[in-house]
Amino acid sequence: MKNKKDAASKNIIKKISLNNKDSGEEKIRIKKDLPLKEILKRAPPCMCEACNNGCKFGSGALVVNEQLKLNDLKNIAKHLKISEEDLKKNYLEEIERFNTKIFRPKLLRKRNAEGKELPFGRCIFYDDKNGCKIHEVKPVECKISMGCKEYSEQLSQWFMLNFFVNSKDPESIRQFNAYLKAGGKTLADGKLSDIIPDKKLLAKILDYEILS
Ligand code: SF4
Ligand code: SF4
C-alpha cells in the first residue's frame, strides 16, 4: 500500500481535507459489500502532488477478477503495448497479504549503507515531471487511494477486505485475526464475525482444526 507519511504531503492533504470539510462534504461510511462501481464514484480520477508523493514510496495492487470483469493486468499491458508476460516480468512484483498473492508495480528500492535493500521505493510507473505514467489504467488500489478524503482510510480497508482477506481460505482468516489482534483496523461491517458468521466454523479455523 502506498505510503503517505511524508510531512509535506500530509500538509497538502490536510489543507485539501479542510477545504472538503468547509465545502460541506458529507460524512461517508464505506461498507464492505459496496460494489467497486460505487466505490469509484467516491474516488474520482485526480492527480496532485499530495497523492503523487505516495508513489515515491509504494504502489497499489492490481485486480484481476473475472466475476467483476476487472483485469488491471490486461488493461495496463494494452496501454503499454506489451504482452501480459512482459508486463509481469519487467514492471510488476508479487506481494502477499493475508495469504493472498497480488501483483503491484515494481518498487525501485534503494540500498542502505550496509547494502541492504530498503522495503519501500518509488513506483516504476512514477515520473517526477508528469506523475503516474499509466494514470488512465492505473491499478484499482491506486484509483481508490484518495489522500485528501476523510474516508480514505475506509477505502483502503474496503480494498483489503475485498481483495486480500479471503473468506474461503482458513489461513487468510487466521492472518486477518492476527492483524486485528495486533490493533489493525477494519470497516464497521468487516469484523471477523461478519466474514465468517458461523461461530463454530470460525472457532475451528482459528484452532487450526481446518487447515485449508
Ligand atoms: S501505478 Fe501510478 S498511481 Fe499507482 S503507485 Fe504507480 S505511479 Fe502511483
Ligand atoms: S485524492 Fe489525492 S490526488 Fe486527488 S485531490 Fe485528493 S490529494 Fe490530490
Ligand index nearest the alpha carbon of residue 46: 2
Nearest to 138 by CA among 187, 68, 94, 91: 91
Cβ atoms of 56 and 126 within 8 Å: the answer is yes
> Partners of 117 in the beta sheet?
111
Q: What is the mean pLDDT of the chain?
A: 89
Q: How many CB atoms lie within 10 A of CB 113?
A: 5
Ligand index nearest the alpha carbon of residue 150: 2
Nearest to 196 by CA among 171, 180, 173: 173
Average confidence (pLDDT) over 29-50:
89
| Residue 43 CA, ligand 2 centroid: distance in Å | 9
| Residue 139 CA, ligand 2 centroid: distance in Å | 16
Residue 120 to residue 148: CA distance in whole angstroms: 22
Ligand index nearest the alpha carbon of residue 149: 2
* Structure confidence at residue 16 (pLDDT): 46
Q: How many CB atoms lie within 10 A of CB 73?
A: 17
Let me know how long the chain is: 212
* Predicted TM-score (pTM) of this structure: 0.86
| Residue 140 CA, ligand 1 centroid: distance in Å | 10
* Structure confidence at residue 147 (pLDDT): 78
Closest ligand 2 atom number to CA of residue 51:
2
Nearest to 144 by CA among 37, 57, 58: 37
3-state helix, strand, coil in the chain (%, to 5): 40, 15, 45
Contacts of 25 (CB under 8 A, 6+ apart): 149, 150
Give the residue, by CA position, lying nearest to ligand 2 atom 4: 46
pLDDT at position 21 over 60: no
User: According to the per-residue pLDDT averaged within each range, which of 18-27, 39-48, 110-119 is highest?
Assistant: 110-119
**pLDDT tens, residue by residue, 130-170:** 999 999 999 999 999 987 888 999 999 999 999 999 999 99
Q: Is 110 helix (H, G, I), strand (E, B) or coil?
A: strand
| Residue 16 CA, ligand 2 centroid: distance in Å | 8
Q: Where are the alpha helices (DSSP H) in the chain?
A: 7-22, 36-41, 49-54, 72-80, 84-91, 140-143, 152-159, 170-181, 192-195, 199-206
Residues with CB under 6 A from ligand 1: 2, 55, 59-60, 105, 123, 125-126, 132, 134, 138-139, 142
How would DSSP label each residue in 7-23?
Answer: HHHHHHHHHHHHHHHHT
User: What's the pLDDT band for 51 if we cut at 50, 70, 90?
Assistant: confident
Instruction: Please report, rounded to a whole number, the percentage of residues in the chain having pLDDT higher than 90.
Output: 74
